[in-house]
Amino acid sequence: MKSIFNRALCILLCVAMIFTVTACSGNSATPQAGDQDGKFKAGTYTASAKGMGGDVAVEVVLTADKIESVKVTSHKETPGIGDLPIEQLPEKIVEIQGLGVDTVAGATITSNAILAAVTDCLKQAGADTDALKAIKGDAAQKAEDVSLDADVVVVGAGGAGLAAAVTAHQAGSSVIVLEKMPKVGGNTILSGGALNAVDEGSETAIANKDSVEKHYTQTIEGGDKQGDPELVRTLVTNAWDGVEWLKGLGMEFKPGVFTVLGGMWPRAHKPVDPVGTGFFNTYMKYIDANDNIKVMLNTKATELVVKDGKVSGVIAKGETGNKVTLNAKKGVVLATGGFAGNVEMRQKYNTKWPKLDDSIKSTNHSGATGDGILLAETVNAELVQMENIQLLPMGDPKTGSLSGNIEQGVENRIFVNDEGDRFVDEGARRDVMTAALFEQPNNHMWIVLDSHDYPTGDEKNNFNESVNELIAEGRAFKGETLEELAAKIGVNPEKLSAAVEDFNKHVDGKEKDSFGRTLYKDKIDKGPFYAAPRVPTVHHTMGGVKINKDAQVLDKNAKVIPRLYAAGEVTGGIHGTNRLGGNALTDILVFGRIAGAAAAQAK
């Protein structure tokens, strides 16, 4: 009897344990979930998907028949880029009760990550996700056509456009900025934030043996003397004044200077805020605090209005397809960026590179399609040096973006190919480095450096990423020794060690580098060691609309087109065949301010 009782008790305990384990497993997979008696199995669900900077995690709360809430609970997306989809997409999914939500232009990867994670949650809840993807919501009703007046109209809300807008407003003009994308920022917000400027006479410039004249000479020579000397002189002599102007608006920079890739000399200033967000935090703070200056998003300029031989306004297409007419009482500024994102245009003008088809990706945002250049052509503007297209050797192998670049400065890293050999002066011009990369196996290389740049691994690179984060995502690799690192990236360990040894013996200046390298700081001798993959990517189009030193657009007869100004990458003739790293943000700042001031004074 006792044996039967014990056996029965054992069976009851086992059954109880099975129920307990089953209940716990259900709660772990779908917390608070209940039975499915409607469209969803009610409960709270979580999932994540790969974004630009890592995993994007979401939480979705469902009732039996409703998507109650969607939240992005964690992410590592770039500030100023991923913010918009993180803010808008969850709200839109709840609003339409479906997944047929458009991605946010310029932030497609982040948008797709959010949609993928939410879809995962809904699948967990037993939903018909195909049916939910078909739900698009009500189409926006077409707004009425509108006509607005301002002293100055700026086309493009990137770095050049907002520099022009703020300057024009400071000069007493009312300003309207048009931006075809759903956010401000352009390429500037994607940049590493490096801005070349020489504070001549400062201790830093003296210690680095730098000067405005040296900046001028290196810019001219770096572009094979094709840059317009007057424009280059304007660029370098007004650079530091631009930095002080930004500081006066409240923008902060880190102390010291560094050499950015292809910058040729340590004169790049780095903002405190990550990537290019500091510029727009500064500009938008000013714009939000002042009257008579506004930004119109999702509004694409389609025509320049000319009256009595003068540019007098812009016609644009609004978000709902309505016509928007902007009447400029004084002047119009084109600041629409370049055409690196327009495969057709870059193939049309390319004369230098093996190919620039869609197999070669770009660092640029999706709106960099040359719109302003095409607009300027309609009013007979002269285009110059359109064939001068810059590539970098620093593209992410999957996206072409600059994110994942582990370098902190030029001086402390080397490049090796897939065999483990150095192949170029890593402090050379950008076009020289990229041309050399095209000659390597698979057009692929590895950046190699050590713990001088990452003492803990948590330090941020120029794109607000730590090497530890990149390693966790499989975008960078770590080895306690060079041999371990070589094994992880698949290169010959003897060749990698020889490449590092060759670099190290030149740091002391005892021997000249066979590739001609001259920029050094620390030896690569402090483990752990790090590496990250890179490929060629289209970065900057140096050709564009021809301007003079006052940012006035010139026609094909070299005459000024009255009341039309241009600044930034939409212009051509400043950088020549090759732009120095760090000079783009200088360009948009200097000529953006000049264009804004000139437009505010136009008659």
User: Is the pLDDT at 20 greater than 60, yes or no?
Assistant: no
Asked if residue 283 and residue 237 are part of one domain, the reply reads yes
Most confident region among 130-144, 258-272, 505-519 by mean pLDDT: 258-272
Q: How many CB atoms lie within 10 A of CB 359?
A: 8
pLDDT exceeds cutoff 50 at 17:
no
Domain check: are 127 and 150 in the same one?
no
Question: 11 in a domain, yes or no?
Answer: no
Distance, CA of 133 to CA of 127 (rounded, Å): 11
Same domain, 285 and 417: no
Decide if 553 is inside a domain. Answer: yes
Residue scoring higher pLDDT (46 or 20): 46
582 within some domain:
yes
For residues 255-264, give the mean pLDDT.
93
pLDDT above 70 for 22: no
Query: Between 51 and 214, where is the model more confident?
Result: 214
Which range (18-32, 251-265, 310-324, 558-572) has the least confidence?
A: 18-32
Find the range with the poorest average confidence among 1-15, 27-41, 141-155, 361-375.
Answer: 1-15
Q: What is the pLDDT of residue 139?
A: 73
Question: For 126-275, where are the E strands, in sequence order?
Answer: 146-155, 175-178, 195-196, 268-269
**Residue 57: enclosing H or E segment and its boundaries?**
strand 55-62
Give me the pLDDT at residue 82, please.
85
* Same domain flag for 325 and 220: yes
10 assigned to some structural domain: no
**Same domain? 472 vs 350:** no
Residue 53 has pLDDT above 90, yes or no: no
Angle 108-124/83-96 helices, nearest 10 degrees? Answer: 40
> Which amino acid, one-letter code, is at 127?
A
Domain that holds residue 99: 29-133
Mean pLDDT of 346-350: 97
**How many domains is the chain built from?**
3
Instruction: List residues with catalytic annotation.
Output: 430
**Average pLDDT estimate for 553-580:** 98
Scanning the structure block, which residue is given the tokens 């000024």? 560
> If pLDDT is split at 50, 70 and 90, which confidence band does 141 have?
confident
Which pair of structure tokens corresponds to residue 296?
């119109």
Task: Point out the domain boundary residue: 74, 104, 133.
Answer: 133
Strand order in 544-546's β-sheet?
Answer: 383-384, 544-546, 571-572
Q: How confident is the model at residue 27 (pLDDT cuts 50, 70, 90)?
A: very low
Q: 536, 554, 586: which is the final residue of a domain? A: 536
- Has residue 45 been placed in a domain? yes
Render the burial of 384-415: b for 16+ CB within 10 Å, e for the rest.
bbbebbbbbbbbbbeebbbbbbbbbbbbbbbb
Q: What whole-number distance in Å separates Cα of residue 11 and Cα of residue 246? A: 77
CATH number at residue 66: 3.90.1010.20
Say yes or no: 115 and 208 in one domain.
no
Q: Are residues 409 and 479 in the same domain?
A: yes
- Has residue 7 got a pLDDT over 50? no
pLDDT at site 293: 98
Residue 307 has pLDDT above 90, yes or no: yes
Q: What is d(CA 125, CA 113) in angstroms, rounded to the nearest whole number?
A: 19
Locate tokens 């979580």: which residue? Answer: 46
The reported pLDDT for the residue numbered 106 is 79
How far is Cα 550 from Cα 67, in angstroms, rounded to an integer? Answer: 56
Choice between 373 and 402, residue whose per-residue pLDDT is larger: 373
The pLDDT, as a whole number, for residue 508 is 85
Report the phi/psi class of residue 145: left, alpha or beta, with left for phi > 0 and alpha for psi in -120 to 50.
Answer: beta
Give the Cα separation of 219 and 369 in Å (integer): 26
202 and 337 both lie in a single domain? yes
Closest CA to 589 of 570, 564, 567, 571: 567
* For the chain, percent of residues with pLDDT exceeding 90: 85
- Span 206-220, mean pLDDT? 97
pLDDT, residue 52, reads 82
Label residue 37 by pLDDT band (50, 70, 90). Answer: low
In a shared domain, residues 346 and 237: yes
- Whose tokens are 């339409």? That residue is 96
520 assigned to some structural domain:
yes
Q: Please give the torsion angle defined by the CA atoms of residues 78, 80, 85 and 87, in that order, rounded to the nearest 10 degrees.
A: 110
What three-state secondary structure class fits 532?
A: strand
CATH code of the domain containing 361: 3.50.50.60
For 575, phi then psi, to 5°, come to -95, -15
380 found inside a domain: yes
- The pLDDT tens digits for 76-99 are 887 777 888 999 999 999 999 999
* Closest by CA position to 599, among listed 300, 269, 173, 113: 173
Answer with the residue of higher pLDDT: 339 or 510. 339
What's the CA angle centered on 290, arms 146 and 279, to 5 degrees? Answer: 100
Return d(Cα 386, Cα 377) in angstroms, integer: 13
Backbone phi, psi, residue 282, to 5°: -70, -50
Please check whether residues 195 and 307 belong to one and the same domain. yes
Q: What is the mean pLDDT of residues 301-320?
A: 97
Confidence band, pLDDT 50/70/90 cuts, at residue 197: very high
**Is residue 140 one of the residues assigned to a domain?**
no
Mean pLDDT of the chain: 92
Q: What residue ranges in 463-599 does DSSP mark as E strands?
A: 477-479, 529-541, 544-546, 552-554, 560-566, 571-572
Q: Give me the mean pLDDT over the 564-580 stretch.
A: 97
> Are 319 and 332 found together in one domain?
yes
At residue 192, the pLDDT reads 86
Give the domain-ending residue among 77, 108, 133: 133
The candidate with the shortest Cα–Cα distance to 581, out of 422, 423, 402, 377, is 402
Mean pLDDT of all residues in 520-540: 97
Per the structure block, which two tokens stand in for 436?
Answer: 């050399």
Question: pLDDT higher for 53 or 244?
Answer: 244
Distance CA 138, CA 127 (A): 22
Structure tokens at 426: 């890593």
Tell whether the model's pLDDT for residue 515 goes beyond 50: yes
pLDDT (0 to 100) of residue 35: 54
Q: For residues 69 and 206, state if they share a domain.
A: no
User: For the whole model, what pTM was predicted?
Assistant: 0.85
